[in-house]
Chains A and B, each alone.
Chain A
Amino acid sequence: MELATALIYVAAGLMLGFGALGAGIGIGVLGGHFLDGAARQPELVPMLRTQFFIVMGLTDAMPVISIAMGLFLMFAKV
């Protein structure tokens, strides 16, 4: 395998990996705090769930972009 092709695979792997890492940490922290809040005040759960999904969508966006670009590099560019 040529070095350039191999480097594309490494780059795609890094993009996928760091994307997953970022999303994992972000949504983990978010979900933990959501459960904290739900345990403290269960009557707020419907409101918290809406906010949780909004912020999850915001957190999810950047990793997902990196994952899309990584998949594109890995399968379509090579």
Chain B
Amino acid sequence: MASSETLTSAEYIKHHLTNLTFGRLHDGTLGFAHNSEEAAKMGFWAINVDTLFFSLLLGGIFLYLFHKVAKAATAGVPSGAQNFAESLVGFVQDNVRSTACERNPMVAPLALTVFVWVFLMNLMDLLPVDLVPWVGGLLGIHFLKIVPTTDPNATFGMSLMVFGLIIYYSLKVKGVGGFLGELTLQPFGKFGMPANLLLEGINLLAKPVSLALRLFGNLYAGEMIFILIALMYGGGLVLGATASALQFVWALFHVLIITLQAFIFMVLTIVYLDMAHQEHH
């Protein structure tokens, strides 16, 4: 930021946490919001352009790379890229194997996509917090949030898709009666139906919410700490040097977190779909 001297620390943080939002401005024209109040006023139909752009870009990179590897795959000694892709596919397959949804051909590719995509989106967190927004500032873009998973819209989008699949496969495997029975007939038997419905309903609805909030919360906290450390760069030479060291340490720790969260998102997707496929007693 060229004008960062005039910013207070709260403004700096807020600036970093504001999405590039496109929608209907208060005078009725379409355009980008110039501050977070304007973005908030846009209401439901506002679009976070940066989230969409970076998530689609990373998804495209993932598809392109794996498509290329799959096209060039040989039965002989595999090259580096093929080794990498094969080990990832094998890793995901190990997790899907021995679950009830093993014979569903959709689950393992979904799990692979979820894992790699979420990992790539999380990986954007390791880029320096000011680098890409600075480049964007040179191009005339005021707000830029490069980590799609620090936007709850992205994580809820993914978890709601998983939720839709849970409902779909529950209905498909168990039928409408079976699914409703599962919701209402346990754990207290048919005379405790309202209590069963309450418990199982909360159980069902908690799945997408916790799935999305877990990923969002972890990445948001990580990004927040990166920003707070970056604030120290303004405090002179000693604090700046400390900040560099702290950024490095936190980045090392964060490598573990982003991989773990991508893995957990994948494992929970598999587990939830597995539960949807399982016939209950």
Contacts and interface: CB of A to CB of B under 8 A. Distances in A.
A56 B17 CA distance: 27
Nearest to B11: A76
Interface residues on chain B, size class: 20 to 34
Interface string A57-78: 1101110110110011001111
B217 A78 contact: no
A54 B214 CA distance: 13
Contacts of B264: 54, 57-58
B82 interface: no
Given A53-B260, A54-B264, A71-B225, A76 B217 contact: no
B263 interface: yes
Interface string B38-74: 0000000000000000000000000000000000000
B221 A75 contact: no
Contacts, number: 54
Interface in B7-22: 9-10, 13-14, 17
A75 B10 contact: yes
Interface residues on chain A, size class: 10 to 19
A13 to B, nearest CB: 16
A71 B217 contact: no
Interface in A45-60: 53-54, 56-58, 60
Nearest to A56: B260
Contacts of A72: 13, 17, 224
Contact of A68 (B210, B221, B261, B263): B221
A60 B261 CA distance: 10
Interface of B: 9-10, 13-14, 17, 210, 213-214, 216-218, 220-221, 224-225, 228, 260-261, 263-264, 267
